[in-house]
Amino acid sequence: MQPVTVLVAAPGLSGMIAKIEARLQGRRGPRVLQPYYDLAKLFHKESLAPAGASWFFLAAPVVAMTASLTVPLLIPVLTSFGLPLGYMGDIIGGGFLLALASFSVAVAAVESGGPYAQLGASRAKTFGAITEPVVLFVVFTVALVTGTDLPYAQAATVRSSADQIIRPAHLLASAALFLVILYETARIPVETHTGTNEFGMIEEARSFEHSGPYLALLKWGSACKQLILYTILIDVFLAPWGLASTTRIHSVALAVLALLGKAVLLGCVVAVIDNSFAKLRLFKITEFVSAAFLLAVLAVFTLYLGGG
């Protein structure tokens, strides 16, 4: 149910955020279910591949989707207890899987030979070299606080005492992770996620040469990645409540509703940020990501200075 929940709900979350953004701008906006209609339309279209592209060009969307849907088996999406795979992979393992998905899409963009796709892949890997250490330092903070880097242990620590949420190390690590989420989901002030301006395209450019069902998989996988990152921030760091403590149907159903409610609230925050800031110039994005890195480093330092 955890991967299925992410798979089914992810496009709806994107549609909800788009609707909220439109309302904030005084527009009617698209329907909340519009992403589902777009995916259905793409799945009925023809798939094309650039001349000279290898088999990996068409395999990359499948690899990225598979890697993304494996992460919900490692993190607390619906349950407060670890699933059979929950103790085989920690936060670093989940980060590796998301990195594998991003790397596959970047390689496929290079395979295409398209200038815009290659441009987006180059930018994504350049800035990713800074965001990945941020995630590692967030993991270090979790490991120092809980004695392990399992996300279930961190969630249990937060649930055990509300004081944990306001501790400096926890707040700094959460803030650093939130900035990474803004970058990874192509949100302002980093990128206009719905724009096609070559001066600022990163995520949107990498899928330029894909079409049909493979483009649908890339867009669907991107929505799943967004919900997974939201879930990590919510159910591991900020609000790990509402999770099912048993496998009974009604407990799991309530956990699904709680997850969707918390994800929509976080999406509202992201929508407000998306409409409150102008997009940064491209060379300023490194400063934005570096700020997240400094917050993550400070989170580790405060543990040794009495803030953890």
Query: In this predicted structure, what is the pLDDT of residue 277?
Result: 77
Closest CA relative to residue 285, chosen from 133, 137, 131: 131
Distance of alpha carbon 180 from the chain centroid: 9
**Residues 6+ positions from 117 with CB-CB distance below 8 Å:** 109, 110, 205, 206, 207, 208, 209
pLDDT, one tens digit per residue, over 25-80 is 888 888 889 999 999 999 999 988 888 888 889 899 999 999 999 999 888 899 98
pLDDT mean across residues, the chain: 85
Higher pLDDT, 252 or 282: 252
pLDDT, one tens digit per residue, over 171-222 is 888 898 898 888 888 776 666 665 555 556 777 778 888 889 999 999 999 9
Model-level pTM? 0.89
Angstrom distance (rounded) from CA 298 to CA 238: 18
Angstrom distance (rounded) from CA 207 to CA 48: 12
What one-character-per-residue DSSP string does 237-293 give? II---S-BSS--HHHHHHHHHHHHHHHHHHHHHHHHHHHHSPPPPGGGHHHHHHHHH
Q: Which residue has 């040794």 as its token pair?
A: 304
pLDDT at 117 over 80: yes
